[in-house]
Structures are given as structure tokens and as C-alpha cells.
Amino acid sequence: MKIFAWILVVLVIIIGGGAAAYFGLIKNNKLSFFAKKSGSSAVTATTIDAKSGVDDKTATLVIGGDIMLARWVEQKALADGGWTSLFDKIRDTLTKPNCAVANLESPFKGQKPQTKINSLIFAAKPEAVDALTDAGIDAVSIANNHITDQGQEGLNETKVALDDKKIIYAGADDSTDKALQAKTLTCGNLKIGFVAATYGTNFPADGVSTANLEGIVQTIKNTRPNVDYLIVYPHWGSEYNATPSPFQIELAHEYIDAGADLVVGSHPHVLQPIEIYKDKTIAYSLGNLVFDQASSGKKTEGALLQIALDDKTQKLTIVPIQIEDYYRPAPADGDLNSYKDSLALKDFSWSLAR
């Protein structure tokens, strides 16, 4: 994939309040950003010549990966403080930016028994939406293979639960036209466009339409002139595959060419590389944010992508996340080489600050 060799990435180790690590990718017009030292070392970066595309405006956002609120997640969350404690360890990271976005992988459905631990047909209780609001999540993609798991009733209850909490959703609805529509968020004083799509769904469901991966190209073209910044969130790729497919790469480039400023993928449930294409960022998969697929290993390693925009700079920061005890996201600590490898940060140039 096309990476400029002279783009450098930043790694800052934050000490205190739990060890949190941040990989920062900085894009601006001057060689002006340096990582702060903490402890024995830090890594610094130079920058590339790029503009954010906004004018005299600012915004901060954070984007996460897959959230599933059924099975073990439900059992463990309710046994340990309830839904509003689920994001305790990363709450500040999610709530401090102006806006937070993620992929909601489980529809809400009341009057239904708890999803069995080994079931692949998800149903989260409507009250689980409290986990999202408590974490400050402002918008979710519901364009994913599980949105049809509970059919039209499940989609309707999901929309009601999200609407009641004023959480914006994109990528699925009761008609194709609605599913293809971009949604907008006001973040800081920027108008952010949000487009979501999926490769397909697990079950056909009457009355449920999802935006398809190729179909949103025209939506991107139509939306970009009307927003300050455009995020595209595709649900794509192969599960547990750490390498994006040629189809993913082709589509991501097509999205950027059509006007997307940032492409963030979901569905593989593991981290995939980050690419810089035409001075725009593609995160092929941010992995899991809340899921119960494993107690350790790649399926428990995710990332949050922080974006800070103003009229001259676009600062991108990667926050490595570790899922603890099958359900709770926490800042990753210890050896971060696995994250660096999975995100292909080795393709960037690194230097040690002394």
C-alpha cells in the first residue's frame, strides 16, 4: 500500500491514572509537533504537507470499533456495576472529544431471553443503550451483518432506543433510500458527515435495508460539498484476518477519490493496517471495542482513533485498547509491539527522543 516513507508516527507513553499508550499520526504544514517525554523515552515525529480542509473551525472526535452488548458482555456488565460502568476505564478518552462514533454490532430487542453465550444471533436488551450514552457516544453505524438478527422488530426497537437517547445512526433503515443517506454531526463548530455501509447481513429481513459498499460512492460525492469533513465507516473484510483484502483497498481508495476525508472499517474483529492515501487516512479495521470473543490475543486488541481538526492541521492519534475479562475495554499497557505490527506502523519511520 502507498505510504510516504517520510511520514513519521508518534508514540507517547502516558503515566498516571493507569498506563495508556498513544500512537499519534500528525499531519500539518510545519515540522512543529513533538511528543512529550514521559519516563525514559518517547518517540517523535515530523509531519507531511496536508491540510484538514476546514477553515477557521475546530473539532475533536474519537472513533472506535465493534460494540456488541449481548452474551457474556451483558452477563458480566450487569454483575459488575451495570451498564453505566462498562466504559469506566476509557470514559475520559471517549467523552473529552466533541463527538464519539462506533459500530453497534447488536440490535436492541426487548421481551426476549438473554442471548446464549455461543449464539451468533445477537439481541441486546434496550436498556443496554445506557452504556453508549454514559460513554458519550454520539453516533453509531448500524450497517453490519448483525443488524438483521432480530428482523424488522429488532431494527425498529434499535432505532427507538437510539432516538430516545439522541444517538445518531447511519447505514440501515426501513428503505434503501434512507439507508444510503449520510447523517451529520455537529462536532465543535464543524459539520461532520457520516456515511456507513456493509458487505451484507446474516439474515434477509423484511423491511430492513442496508447501504451496500459500492452504493455509497455516489452518497459520498453528494455529501462532501455540504460538510466540513466526511467520515466513511464500511463493514467489510474477512473476520479475524489481519490483512485487508484487495477489494477493501480498492474500495477505500475509491471512497477517498469520491471525497471521503477518513475511512474507518469494522467487521474483522482484529486490527488491520493504517494507510495514508492521497494525504487521507484509512484505518482498515479498528478491531473490537466491546466484545466477548476471547480472553486474550488479537481479538482483545482494538484501537480508538482520535482526530483533532482546525483550519491548518489534522492530528490523528491512535489509542491502543485491550478488552479485559471478555467484556470491558481498557487502555493497553505493557508491550505494544503487537499493536504496532497489526496497524502496520512499522511502515512509518520512527525515531527515539532522548
pLDDT of residue 137: 98
Residue 7 falls within a domain, yes or no?
Answer: no
Residue 33 falls within a domain, yes or no?
Answer: no
Residue 337 falls within a domain, yes or no?
Answer: no
pLDDT of residue 55: 58
Residue 24 falls within a domain, yes or no?
Answer: no
The total number of structural domains that make up the chain? 1
Cα gap 247→282, rounded to integer Å: 14
Residue 164 vs residues 129, 167, 197, 340: alpha-carbon distances, Å = 10, 8, 23, 39
Residue 201 falls within a domain, yes or no?
Answer: yes
The parent domain of residue 115 ranges over: 51-331
Residue 2 falls within a domain, yes or no?
Answer: no
Q: Which residues in 130-161 are b (16+ Cβ under 10 Å) and which e?
A: bbbbbbbbbbbbbbbbbbbbbbeebbbbbbeb
Residue 43 falls within a domain, yes or no?
Answer: no
Could you report the average pLDDT of every consecutive run of 10 residues in the chain (354 residues)? Answer: 32 28 41 25 28 70 97 93 95 96 96 82 95 97 96 95 98 95 96 97 93 97 97 97 97 98 97 93 97 92 93 83 95 86 70 28
What CATH number has the domain bearing residue 171?
A: 3.60.21.10
Residue 21 falls within a domain, yes or no?
Answer: no
The alpha carbon of 241 is separated from its chain's Cα centroid by a whole number of angstroms, namely 17
Give the bridge partners for 38, in sequence order. Answer: 41
Give the bridge partners for 303, in sequence order. Answer: 320
